[in-house]
Amino acid sequence: MPLPKRRHSSTRQAKRRTHYKLTPPAVGECPRCHSPRLSYHICGTCGYYNGRQWLTPKTAAADAE
């Protein structure tokens, strides 16, 4: 197997790694309660997604009892 004859410099290594970065998550606003939520996910505050309630939030369940 071929091996490199000389070591690559740290600058060359850094240039190669410039694109290895994280992108922030796509956070949108819930149309029902206007709290921030991840896109294409159920809202953790109200439990709604796509105009339908999928789960009852823990805070609402505790208040009902």
Percentage of the chain exceeding pLDDT 70: 89
* pLDDT above 70 (res 41): yes
pLDDT of residue 58: 77
Contact 46, 33 (CB under 8 A): yes
Contact 42, 30 (CB under 8 A): no
Q: Is residue 62 pLDDT above 80, yes or no?
A: no
Mean pLDDT on 20-49: 92
Nearest to 51 by CA among 36, 35, 28, 31: 31
User: Do residues 47 and 57 make contact, with C-beta atoms less than 8 angstroms apart?
Assistant: yes
Contact between residue 45 and residue 57 where contact means Cβ atoms under 8 Å apart: yes
Residue 64 in this model has a pLDDT that exceeds 80: no
